[in-house]
A and B are shown apart, each in its own frame.
With several copies, the nearest count.
Chain A
């Protein structure tokens, strides 16, 4: 075919076809797995923390194209951020970085946010000292 038509924009398609950070982290510092009640998609994000920063993030996703692209983009965006910064991460960043998602697919980016937060919470549960610090830092601007 001369022209190719795509359901999602080129950025989303790229992240769907060539997902970044797909996989698991062996002995991860935090793992979050969440499911979307609406459609049944499931997303799992694992993170490695080094010096209070996200050194690595990986995902596995059972879900549609935009769910896969959202988790790919979320893991990409989050690498290098501090735990505190990561706690303020929102799905809007994913949507913007992807150049937009169809309205009915916004919930996929929410799922990515939730999976990341779940991973961070898991990390903090395992590392109460980090959690305390994060909460403290968080409290300042509030």
Chain B
């Protein structure tokens, strides 16, 4: 059976060069960066180099603007809470996109319980914000605006540079979560006008266990994990040296390979989407069409009349690794809040599948996925009461309405005795 990994948004394999660079720091150069002897001083040098390499990937002015955390989640938490706590006296208002990652949304919710308020900027059905909405939401109490670069679910590229200009005019720092774009799209913190930027190497063939937070020196930021004076006093705790070294090398390679990565994945993205929509009826792409507003690695699909977890499981049994934003795959039984924010019909959200491409994927992989997925859809539709009811004219399609029958949602509400979401 062919194995096709299409979940690069969830994890990527470590590049052999990155692993080789990390290796000596496990058993040989195992020192603690706080130690003043040989073992400590050596890894301190390694730390500095990794800071320079990661700073270069996002065109930061100085490596001193780079803070190492444990992952993207911690970086988001530090950006949101660290800026909020640092500016408590100035004001307690935040502005964030409605489709930020849960690590941003839930940090904001935590602060709301502590007396902060937050304006959530809505998105278009394609998932894009209107920068003017951000400007309008800023008040004299606003201490931070958070707009992610690329959406983790639907691949939409937000107009961050425009937002950055508006924030600069109003003197409010902008935080850009680049977790879903770093290593796959160019990032320039100065062009973005960003005061804070986060990303993680595990998304671009680097190691897990390390996240990066860039902070422009002018932005005030306090620590949220308290203890020692590591990372300029802004992140206490023994540094994860091997992972940090790996982050540096992964960043360096990403910078070098960026054009090739974008070209390769854009080609496969187009081939995959064209193949799927040709071979499968009632399938919809969520988020912008492939092009300048969508990252080349992501396809977010809704296949009507069937549910996402079943699609995912059958894909897996056929060697294809994918993700889904369906409520059935979530521990909270809720559809992805991003799909809710773009106003996606619940039936389509339930039929959601997320495919994310990487460098190891080939044209043959893509053709195999198209062929296999068409069979999976047929199998599941054959099992689905909704497909039967659609064919009998009892319910209608959301994707390509025929004007016959009631809506899926209406039907679902009737049989469950409650509206779906």
A4 touches B38 (CB 8 A): yes
Q: Is B11 an interface residue (CB 8 A)?
A: no
Q: Is B120 an interface residue (CB 8 A)?
A: no
B317 touches A17 (CB 8 A): yes
Chain A residues near B38 (CB-CB < 8 A):
1, 4-5
Binds A, one of B94-102, B171-179, B398-406, B412-420: B412-420
Binds B, one of A36-44, A78-86, A89-97, A133-141: A36-44
A74 to chain B, nearest CB (A): 14
B383 touches A40 (CB 8 A): no
Number of residues on chain B facing chain A (CB within 8 A): 41
Chain B residue nearest to A17 (CB atoms) is B317
B384 touches A61 (CB 8 A): yes
Q: Is B347 an interface residue (CB 8 A)?
A: yes
User: B332-373: which residues lie under 8 A (CB-CB) from chain A?
Assistant: 333, 335, 346-347, 350
A35 touches B415 (CB 8 A): yes
CB contact between B385 and one of A1, A6, A17, A33 (< 8 Å): that residue: A33
User: B292-336: which residues lie under 8 A (CB-CB) from chain A?
Assistant: 305-310, 313, 317, 326-329, 331, 333, 335
Give the distance in Å from the alpha carbon of A67 to the alpha carbon of B327 in the complex.
Answer: 13
Give the distance in Å from the alpha carbon of A5 to the alpha carbon of B414 in the complex.
Answer: 37
Q: Is B23 an interface residue (CB 8 A)?
A: no
Q: Is A73 an interface residue (CB 8 A)?
A: no
B313 touches A5 (CB 8 A): no
Q: Is B42 an interface residue (CB 8 A)?
A: yes
Give the distance in Å from the alpha carbon of A42 to the alpha carbon of B412 in the complex.
Answer: 7
User: A55-86: which residues lie under 8 A (CB-CB) from chain B?
Assistant: 60-65, 67-68
B30 to chain A, nearest CB (A): 14
Most buried by A among B307, B385, B388: B385
Q: Is B124 an interface residue (CB 8 A)?
A: no
Q: Is B111 an interface residue (CB 8 A)?
A: no
Chain B residues near A64 (CB-CB < 8 A):
307-310, 313, 326, 328-329
A60 touches B42 (CB 8 A): no
Chain A residue nearest to B44 (CB atoms) is A5
Give the distance in Å from the alpha carbon of A36 to the alpha carbon of B416 in the complex.
Answer: 5
Q: Is A16 an interface residue (CB 8 A)?
A: yes
Q: Is A19 an interface residue (CB 8 A)?
A: yes
Chain B residue nearest to A71 (CB atoms) is B383
Q: Is A34 an interface residue (CB 8 A)?
A: yes
Chain B residues near A62 (CB-CB < 8 A):
305-307, 350, 384-386
Give the distance in Å from the alpha carbon of A60 to the alpha carbon of B385 in the complex.
Answer: 5
Chain B residue nearest to A108 (CB atoms) is B328
Give the distance in Å from the alpha carbon of A82 to the alpha carbon of B38 in the complex.
Answer: 42
Chain A residues near B421 (CB-CB < 8 A):
40
Q: Is B20 an interface residue (CB 8 A)?
A: no
Q: Is B41 an interface residue (CB 8 A)?
A: yes
Give the distance in Å from the alpha carbon of A37 to the alpha carbon of B420 in the complex.
Answer: 6
Q: Is B139 an interface residue (CB 8 A)?
A: no
Q: Is B62 an interface residue (CB 8 A)?
A: no
Chain B residues near A142 (CB-CB < 8 A):
none
Given A38-B327, A39-B327, A104-B333, 14 more A-B residue pairs with CB atoms under 8 Å apart are A1-B3, A1-B38, A5-B38, A6-B41, A22-B382, A35-B414, A35-B415, A37-B416, A40-B335, A40-B346, A40-B421, A44-B385, A61-B384, A63-B310
- Between A and B, 19 residue pairs with Cβ closer than 8 Å are A5-B45, A33-B385, A35-B414, A35-B415, A37-B416, A40-B350, A40-B421, A41-B307, A42-B411, A42-B412, A42-B416, A60-B384, A60-B388, A61-B384, A61-B385, A62-B307, A64-B309, A64-B329, A104-B333
Interface residues, chain B, CB within 8 Å of chain A?
3, 36, 38, 41-42, 44-45, 305-310, 313, 317, 326-329, 331, 333, 335, 346-347, 350, 382-386, 388, 411-418, 420-421
Interface residues, chain A, CB within 8 Å of chain B?
1, 3-7, 16-17, 19, 22, 24, 33-44, 60-65, 67-68, 104, 107
Q: Which 4 A-B pairs have the closest CB atoms?
A: A35-B416, A5-B41, A64-B309, A64-B328
